[in-house]
Amino acid sequence: GDPEPVQDFCVAAPRGDGEAAFPGLPCKPASTVVSDDFFFAAHARAASTDNPMGSAVTPGNVEAFPGLNTLGLSLNRVDLAPGGVNPLHSHPRSAELVHVEDGEMLVGFVSTEGKFYSKVVRAGESFVIPRGMMHFQYNVGAGAARAMTVFNSQLPGVVLAAQSLFGAEPEIPDAVLAKSFEVDAEIIKLLKSKFRKG
Ligand code: GLV
Ligand code: MN
Amino acid at 35: S
The verdict on residue 47 lying in a domain is no
Residue 115 predicted with pLDDT over 80: yes
Residues 106 and 71 in one domain: yes
Residues 142 and 166 in one domain: no
- Whole-angstrom distance, CA of residue 173 vs CA of residue 20: 33
pLDDT in tens, 165-195: 999 999 999 999 999 999 999 999 999 999 9
Pocket of ligand 1, candidates 98, 133, 155, 159: which has the most ligand atoms within 8 Å of its Cβ, to mutate? 98
| Bond preceding residue 3 cis, omega within 30 of 0 | no
| Smallest CA separation from ligand 1 atom 1, residue | 149
The string of DSSP letters for 129-151 reads E-TT-EEEEEE-SSS-EEEEEEE
| Smallest CA separation from ligand 1 atom 2, residue | 136
pLDDT in tens, 141-167: 999 999 999 999 999 999 999 999 999
Q: Residue 43, Cα to own-chain centre: how many angstroms?
A: 14
| Smallest CA separation from ligand 1 atom 3, residue | 149
- Whole-angstrom distance, CA of residue 20 vs CA of residue 22: 7
Residues 192 and 146 in one domain: no
Report CA(138)–ligand 2 centroid distance (Å).
Answer: 12
| Residue-number span of the structural domain to which 35 is assigned | 1-42+52-156
Which residues, including other chains, have CB under 8 Å from residue 4's CB and lie 6 or more apart?
72
Residue pair 100/131 in contact (Cβ under 8 Å)? The answer is: no
- For residue 19, the model assigns a pLDDT of 64
Residues 86 and 163 in one domain: no
Q: Residue 116 CB: number of other CB atoms within 10 A? A: 9
**DSSP symbol at 183:** S
Is the beta carbon of 153 within 6 A of some atom in ligand 1? no
pLDDT in tens, 75-105: 999 999 999 999 999 999 999 999 999 999 9
Which atom of ligand 1 approaches the CA of 156 most closely? Answer: 4
Residues 144 and 164 in one domain: no
CATH no. for residue 35? Answer: 2.60.120.10
Assign 198 a pLDDT band (cuts: 50, 70, 90): low
- For residue 33, the model assigns a pLDDT of 98
Residues 162 and 152 in one domain: no
Task: Go through 68-103 and write b for each residue having 16 or more CB atoms within 10 A of its CB, e for each that does not.
Answer: bbbbbbbbbbbbbbeebbbeebbbebbbbbbbbebb
**DSSP symbol at 123:** T
Residues 112 and 128 in one domain: yes
pLDDT in tens, 2-61: 999 989 999 999 876 556 666 788 899 999 999 999 999 999 999 999 999 999 999 999
Is the beta carbon of 55 within 6 A of some atom in ligand 1? no
Residues 171 and 143 in one domain: no
Residues 119 and 21 in one domain: yes
Ligand nearest the Cα atom of residue 75: 1
Residues 93 and 168 in one domain: no
